Structures are given as C-alpha cells and as structure tokens.
Structure 1
Amino acid sequence: MKPTRLAEAKTLLVIALPLVFAYLADVLMVVTAKMTVGQLGALELAAAGISTDLSYQMCIVLMGFFSVVGVLVSEAIGAGRKGDALPELIRGLILSSILGVIVTAVVLNLDLVLNAFGQDAEVIRMSAPYYFNFAFAMLPIIWFGVLRSFAAAMMRTGFVMGITIFTVVLNYILMQGLVHGGYGLPALGISGAGLAWSISMWFKCLCLAAYTLWLVRRQKLAARGWSRGGARAYFPLMRLGFPVAGVVALESGLFAATALLSGIMGPVELAAYQMVMGWIAIPFVISLGISEAAMVRVAYYIGADDPAAARQSGNLGMVIGVAVPFVLVLIPVLAPGVVSRIFLDPSDPRYAEIAALVAILLIIAAVFQVFDSLQVIASHALRGLRDATVPLVIAGFGYWIVGMGLAYLFGFTFGWGAPGMWAGLAIGLAFTASLLAWRFELLAKRGVYFPAQ
C-alpha cells in the first residue's frame, strides 16, 4: 500500500538527514584542509587542490559503482529476502578491494597525469609529496562508501553521521599539526596534509566497519551463500554497477577536466576553481544525501512490487532536494567576499585578482548548483529502478557534448575565460538534469523497472 506523501517524506528524511550531515562534515573536512594548505600560499593550494580533485574523483567513480550495493540490499529486504543482504555486502567489499588497489597505484603516479594534461611545472613539483601520502587514503575511502551504502539500505545512517563529524575534528587537528607543526606534531608542510588525510580516512573506515559488524550480528544476518554461484553471483552487481560508474565517471570527469582546463588558464583560475567548488559542494552534498535515500526507497518499493510508491518516493526526493539550492543561492550572490576569505589569506599577493574572479563565478554557480542537485537525485532514483544504461547515454551527451563542448567554446574559442567555461557547464547540467528527471517520471508512471538477470 502506497504511504501518504507526508509519511514517505518523513521516511526519506530519516534516512537522508544523517547522510546530509555526514556529507556536510566531509565538505567541512575538505574546506578546513584547503584553508590549512591555503595558509602556505596560492600555489600550494592549487597543488594540493588539483591532486585531491583528481584522486578523489577516482574514488567517487568507484563509490558510485558500489552505491548499487544499497540498491540490491534494499530491494532484497523489500522483497522479503533478508538473507541476501549480507552476501551482497561481502561481494561488494571483495570487488572494491581489487579496484581500490588499482586506484592507489594510479594516484602514486599522479605526476604522469598532471604532466600529460599540461599543468604548471611548479604545481606538479609541489604536489608530489602531497599525493604520495594521500594515495594511501584510497582504499578506506572506497570501503567506507560500500559500508555507507549498506547502512542506508538498512535505514541505519545515524552512526555514519556521528563518526564522520568526529573525523572532521580529528582531521583538523592532524592538518594543523602535520602541516604547520601544531599540537606537538612535526611541521611537514604540504606533505603533512596528505598524511593527515590518510590517517583520518583509515580511522573513519575502521569505525564504520566495527559498527557494521555489530549491526549484522544485531540483525542476525547470515553470510551463507555469498560465494555460491562463483563469478556469476557478481553479475547483478556488475551489470548495474558499471553503467552507474560510467555516469559518475562522466560527471566527475567533467569536473576533473574543468580543473585541468582551469590549470591551463593559469594558477589564478585554478585557485578560483578550487574556492568555488568548495562552496557549491555544500548544496550538492545535501542533495546527494537525499538522493541516496530516494534510491534505496525506490529500490525497496520495487522489491515490494509497489511501483506507485516507488514513483512517489523518487519524485519527493527531487522536490525536496532541489528546494535546498534555491535557499543557498542568496549567500554567495550577496556576499561573495566571504567565500574568498574562507579559502585564501587576504594578504596573499594574488588575493584581489582571485577574489574578483570568484565573485563572478559564484553568480554563474548559483544557477549551476540547482540543476546539479536535480541531476544527482534523478540519477539515483533511476538506479533504484535498475535503470543505468540510458542514463549513461544521457549523461555522456549532456555532460560532454553539450556541457564541455559549450565550456570550451565559451572559455577558449570565444575567449570568455573561466566565466564562459562555467556558463557552458551550467547549460550542460540543465540539459542533463531535465532529461533524467523526465525519464524517471516516464518509467515510474508506467511501472517499468529492470530486474536482475
């Protein structure tokens, strides 16, 4: 029986709010890390920022892949197959370990990527000690994403919020200590920032792993059957996970490419990019928390054979999630100088030039972030229907043909610089978000979903 809109909205928020606060804590961790490194100078901020962006984007792609663990677990619970929940988690952890090792190796050789994309030689030189230490955070970041998806499917996201908030404090202490020599720790400069990230991520992952073990025992979930079927048992995870990872890769690759193009424009544009991304991450991760809740609720109702409730849950998620950016638009538009002062010391020789550029980009980002929120929620709702192949095509065309095509045209061909590039991206996101939202409504209204094979 389909619940009322109010009842379903409450359920969505019960799942989403702890995830929202956890994601906001993650953003705060990135912001405080950039603030700490920014005190060393604009070049250090650019070096650590682009290394983090490229490294973390790879993790985000894999976390997108393994978000489908939440879909499979939630659908199994909705269908009354509770015994399938733990085997899905185990398979997710095994596969994520293999892929995580590969990503770690790539990050350890990040200089090859930066050189290939024509980044400033001084930025590459400064980034090396940072990304070497940051590389060892890859595995715990990916594992944490798998465990978080499982917790969302089990409607137990409170611990995720708590441990993430605690890790923010830990990371801040480690950053201040290992970068500047505070709290009796050695001053390692930019290298210390990478080390602080790795220690914090391992701490957060191990805590959630311990909680997951407790939850599994409390729920009396059995691991029996996780290896049954051999490689074929991984097919549902991979069939849905690969196109989902493709969608995430297209989106994260879009931002990675924007970072690289900003770096080609110059250190000022790259530093401005880092600062604007630090702000728009706030409304995005709020919508991301809501999107994960919508995804597992849609999957739950599909498992329960209630397509009307699945449609209602997905659409409610989009309405709630898009309302947030509208409220947050006013802050950067009315007070852009605040954002600049958060990330960079006003005494920096390039502060005035960077702050002026940031003020322009934040106006464009006000439009950008609304459609960015809509597309992430619509995409997650479609995952709940096990629909990922067509969204992959939509994302590829919208992000890269429309978005990046216009970004390059406006930014480089027309010579409009960073503002032109961001305007092109905003148009691409608006196009993509509209198509994804329309597709969810079309499929959900007809009760169409794509079962595992």
Structure 2
Amino acid sequence: MLYQYTKEFRYNLELAAPVMMGMLGHTLVALVDNIMVGQLGTAELAAVSLGNSFMFIAMSLGIGFSTAITPLVAEADAENNFRNGKSAFKHGLFLCTTLGVVLFLMILLAKPLMYLMKQPIEVVELAIPYLDLVAFSLIPLIIFQALKQFSDGLSMTRYPMYATLVANVVNVVLNYILIFGKLGFPQMGIVGAAIGTLASRFIMVVFLWIFLKKKEKSKGYVTHIKIFVLENKMIKKIIELGFPSSLQMFFEVAIFTAAIWLSGILGKNPQAANQIALNLSSMTFMVAMGLSVAAMVRVGNQKGLQKFEDLRRIAISIFLLSFIIATIFALIFIICNEMLPMIYLDVDDTQNLVDNTEVISIAAKLLIIAALFQISDAIQVTVLGALRGLQDVKIPTVITFIAYWVIGFPISYHLGLHTEYKSSGIWIGLLAGLTASALLLCLRFNKLTNGLIRKG
C-alpha cells in the first residue's frame, strides 16, 4: 500500500531537485548577504530586513502570477500541443514583463510609508537607498520567473538552476567587494549588497535565455516570438490563473512581512532576530517549493492525460515526501536553535555585545516555533502546487486569505504587541496561519480529486 506512493519518490526528487537547488541558491545568497551585512551592525541588518519586506510583497505578486505559465505549458506538453504551449509562454512573458515594471514603480511610490510605520529612524534612513536599487531588480527577476516557469512546465527544471547558480556566484563576489570596499572599490555597505543583487538578476535572465535557445525541446518556443501580437483569449486565461495565484502567494508573504514590521515596532534587535529566523526558515521552505513545482508539473501532465487516479496517487506521494523532509528540518531547528543565529553576528564584537546577545536569544526562541511550522508550511505549499496543476486557484485563494489574515495575523498582532510573548507571539500567529492553511487546502484537494475520479 505504502509502496504505491514511495515508488514515486525518486522521480519526484529528480524533477524537484534542480528547482530546490535554484531556489536554495537564492536563499543562500540572502544568507551570505545577511551574514556580511550583520558584520556591519544590527541596524544595518534590520535595514536590509525592512527594505526587503517591501520587496517580498512585490516579488510574491510577480512570482505568484508567473506560476500560471507552468500548468498551461505542462498540459500542452502532455497533449503534444506546441501551439498552445508557445502561446502560453509568449503571453506569460509579456504579462510578467509588464507586471515587473508596474511593481518597480509601485515600490518607488511606497517608500515614504517607511516613515509612517513606527520603525526605528536609523533603520529607515539606511533602508531607503538600499531599496532604490533592489526595487529595479524586480524587472529582470520577474522576466526570469516567466522563463523559469515555462522551463519547469516542459520538465526542464535543471536550466533555471544553472542560471541561478551562475548569478549567485556573481552576487556573492560583488557583495563582498562592494559591501566591504575590496580590490580598490569604495566601502558601500548595504548599498553594495543592492548593486550585487541587481547585477545578478540581469545575469540570470541572459543565461537562462541562452540555455533555452540552445536546447532542442525549448528552442522552437523561445525563438521567432511576435511578442506584441496578442490574443485576448490567452491573456484572459493566464490572468484568470495568475491573479489568484499571485494573491495566494501575496497573502502568505504579506503575513511574514507584517511580522517584520511588527518586530520593528518592538525595536531594532527584535527586527534583526526576526530577519535571522526568517532567513533560516526561507532556506527550508525552498525545498518544499521545489516539491510544489514538481506537484504542479506532474499533476498538470496527468490532467492533460485525463488519468485522475494516477494524478491523486502521484500528488499524495509528493505530500508524503514533503512531510518527511520537513520533519528532518524541524529536528535540526530544535537541536541547533541557539547555534544557528550565531552565524549571522560577530559574537566577539565587545562593542555590540549586548545587542548581539539579545538578538541571538530572541532568534533562538523563534527557531523553536519555526521548527513547529516546518511541517505545516511544507504541506500547504505542496498541496497548493498540486491544486495549481489542476488549475484550481479561486477557492485556494479564499482559503489562504482566511488562514493568514482572519486566523494568523490577529494572533500575531495581539500576542506580539499586547502580551509578554512579544517576538515569540508574532511567530505563534504565523504557526496558526500556516497550520490552518495546510488543513483547509488538504480538504480542498481531497474533495476535488475524489470528484474527478468519480466522474472519470
């Protein structure tokens, strides 16, 4: 009985591993950024956290929208329908590019909000020049996402990984040179980190485009594109899938962003501790995201083939694999909760010893709560991927809103700002929201797939 699910593990991992590696690459660069910036001081670390909080919201909308491309391309690929696949890619690329420009302009307009958010003024003044540069990187990032989601839809998950790894090496090298002023360059602090991020995101786009043009399977899709010759039907279809998907990701990312802002109200040290715990949690989440993409692709393939019993079995095998991996991560967080935050700060810095000790203490407590929501987070994102593969996006959008903003955020707000739990209270709210989302999305998937099997 169990074997029918575990026998899929190997292929699921083969499909998901390049996605995981690519996404982990992004997060590892964020880890390196935070470690480098952390050497400058807790105010600088908090400033990067505040600036990135605006970026996370914009990125969630752009990346969430781009996921509409994958199930459409996967379904067309299973049906050997080249025309539909190319149309989905072309229209998705056009819409993602447009969205990237719009989100960049929105962030520029939103910058003054920092002064109204009760954040430490020294943190705000450091964050604004950082955000100016990082905001522009949204345009190449979301173009890259369109290319990546198309590549994933064709089950070519390795090539986005290669492009990401090359870009990440460039990012780390530039960050080191520009943050600390090496090789004759001026010491630019967190602005140097922003320049490294911007350069690396343009490199990602160029490399992935070159890979896709050279490969036989994808060459026909990405060449001879009449980008401005558009069909209303396909635009409407992508928007109908992409807009709810972007809202789903927005609702989740926004509650983590709210945690950053609530932590900022508590002070720069709670905000820096929140950034450390969030960065570590993001690394483990990227593994689940890889499995979510595998679920989206494989469910999209099975939908195209109309094999609904296999669809359900394959999806459950991915959920089971995600649960096992998340449990391992949870144990690591519990065992190493005091050790991991020390990576980010200079524990021998006597001048900032009090601040650094407080940040490490708060982050250690947050990692215990993060350990508890590893499983909920992994399950909810993989089930969401399977539902996107089924092109079921409207009800899951309502579910994510209820879970994060009707259940999770009020708990975070009350426990964080009005009880002695403070930072831990904020993260207890995150735990509640993620758990509610996982349970409700599982119920939705179960109902939908059983219905399809009965009809089939």
Which TM-score tier does this pair reach, normalised by the shorter chain?
over 0.9
Pick the aligned partner of 1:393 from 392, 395, 398: 398
Q: Does 1:380 align with 2:381?
A: no
| Deviation per residue, 1:41-74 (Å, 9 max, x gap) | 1001100122123213311221111111011000
Provide structure 1 residue ranges, at least 5 long, that are not aligned to the other structure.
none
Q: Which residue of 2 aligns with 1:408?
A: 413
CA distance in structure 2 between the partners assigned to 1:195 and 1:317 by the alignment = 38
Q: Which residue of 1 aligns with 2:142?
A: 142
Which shows bigger deviation, 161-170 or 421-430?
Answer: 161-170
Q: Which residue of 1 aligns with 2:158?
A: 158
CA distance in structure 2 between the partners assigned to 1:149 and 1:316 by the alignment = 22
| Deviation per residue, 1:166-223 (Å, 9 max, x gap) | 2222111100111111234332122111111100111111111221222367654486
Q: Which residue of 2 aligns with 1:61?
A: 61
CA distance in structure 2 between the partners assigned to 1:161 and 1:113 by the alignment = 35
After superposition, residues 96-245 of structure 1 pair within 5 angstroms as 96-215=96-215, 220-221=220-221, 230-245=231-246
Which shows bigger deviation, 229-238 or 73-82?
Answer: 229-238
The answer (yes or no) to whether the contact 2:400–2:437 under 8 Å persists in 1 is yes
What is the Cα deviation at residue 6 of structure 1? 5.2
Which shows bigger deviation, 393-402 or 160-169?
Answer: 160-169
CA distance in structure 1 between the partners assigned to 2:310 and 2:344 by the alignment = 44
The answer (yes or no) to whether the contact 2:408–2:429 under 8 Å persists in 1 is yes
The answer (yes or no) to whether the contact 2:155–2:297 under 8 Å persists in 1 is no
Q: Which residue of 1 aligns with 2:308?
A: 307
- 3-state SS, counterpart of residue 118 of structure 1: coil
In structure 2, relative to structure 1, the CA distance for the partners of 1:127 and 1:434 (3 Å cut) is same
Q: Which residue of 1 aligns with 2:95?
A: 95
Q: Which residue of 2 aligns with 1:24?
A: 24
Pick the aligned partner of 1:356 from 361, 372, 375: 361
Which shows bigger deviation, 215-224 or 277-286?
Answer: 215-224
In structure 2, relative to structure 1, the CA distance for the partners of 1:119 and 1:179 (3 Å cut) is same
What is the Cα deviation at residue 16 of structure 1? 0.3
The answer (yes or no) to whether the contact 1:87–1:224 under 8 Å persists in 2 is no
Which shows bigger deviation, 405-414 or 192-201?
Answer: 405-414
Q: Does 1:343 align with 2:361?
A: no
In structure 2, relative to structure 1, the CA distance for the partners of 1:210 and 1:410 (3 Å cut) is same
- 3-state SS, counterpart of residue 337 of structure 1: coil
CA distance in structure 2 between the partners assigned to 1:176 and 1:325 by the alignment = 32
Q: Which residue of 2 aligns with 1:74?
A: 74
| Deviation per residue, 1:384-443 (Å, 9 max, x gap) | 111111111111111111111111122223342011111122012111101101211221
What is the identity, as a one-letter code, of the residue corresponding to 1:416? Y
In structure 2, relative to structure 1, the CA distance for the partners of 1:72 and 1:429 (3 Å cut) is same
| Deviation per residue, 1:326-378 (Å, 9 max, x gap) | 11122232222322221111123301111111111111111112111111111
Q: Which residue of 1 aligns with 2:35?
A: 35
Percent identity of the aligned residues? 28
Q: Which residue of 2 aligns with 1:322?
A: 323
Number of equivalenced pairs = 447
Q: Which residue of 2 aligns with 1:11?
A: 11
Q: Which residue of 1 aligns with 2:273?
A: 272
The answer (yes or no) to whether the contact 1:87–1:223 under 8 Å persists in 2 is no
Q: Does 1:248 align with 2:253?
A: no
CA distance in structure 2 between the partners assigned to 1:46 and 1:300 by the alignment = 43
Q: Does 1:428 align with 2:426?
A: no
Q: Which residue of 1 aligns with 2:376?
A: 371
In structure 2, relative to structure 1, the CA distance for the partners of 1:296 and 1:223 (3 Å cut) is farther
CA distance in structure 2 between the partners assigned to 1:420 and 1:37 by the alignment = 27
In structure 2, relative to structure 1, the CA distance for the partners of 1:321 and 1:160 (3 Å cut) is same
Provide structure 2 residue ranges, at least 5 long, that are not aligned to the other structure.
none
TM-score, structure 2 normalization: 0.93
- 3-state SS, counterpart of residue 40 of structure 2: coil
- 3-state SS, counterpart of residue 447 of structure 1: helix
What is the identity, as a one-letter code, of the residue corresponding to 1:206? V
CA distance in structure 2 between the partners assigned to 1:441 and 1:153 by the alignment = 24
CA distance in structure 2 between the partners assigned to 1:227 and 1:104 by the alignment = 22
CA distance in structure 2 between the partners assigned to 1:303 and 1:430 by the alignment = 31
CA distance in structure 2 between the partners assigned to 1:71 and 1:209 by the alignment = 20
The answer (yes or no) to whether the contact 2:276–2:341 under 8 Å persists in 1 is yes
The answer (yes or no) to whether the contact 1:134–1:197 under 8 Å persists in 2 is yes
Pick the aligned partner of 2:444 from 434, 439, 443: 439
What is the identity, as a one-letter code, of the residue corresponding to 1:309? D
What is the Cα deviation at residue 117 of structure 1? 2.2
In structure 2, relative to structure 1, the CA distance for the partners of 1:225 and 1:8 (3 Å cut) is farther
- 3-state SS, counterpart of residue 336 of structure 1: coil
The answer (yes or no) to whether the contact 2:309–2:453 under 8 Å persists in 1 is no
Which shows bigger deviation, 303-312 or 56-65?
Answer: 56-65
CA distance in structure 1 between the partners assigned to 2:45 and 2:225 by the alignment = 49
The answer (yes or no) to whether the contact 1:61–1:252 under 8 Å persists in 2 is no
TM-score, structure 1 normalization: 0.94
The answer (yes or no) to whether the contact 2:87–2:234 under 8 Å persists in 1 is no
CA distance in structure 1 between the partners assigned to 2:400 and 2:224 by the alignment = 36
What is the Cα deviation at residue 324 of structure 1? 1.1
- Quote the RMSD (CA, aligned, Å): 2.1
CA distance in structure 2 between the partners assigned to 1:412 and 1:36 by the alignment = 30
The answer (yes or no) to whether the contact 1:111–1:124 under 8 Å persists in 2 is no
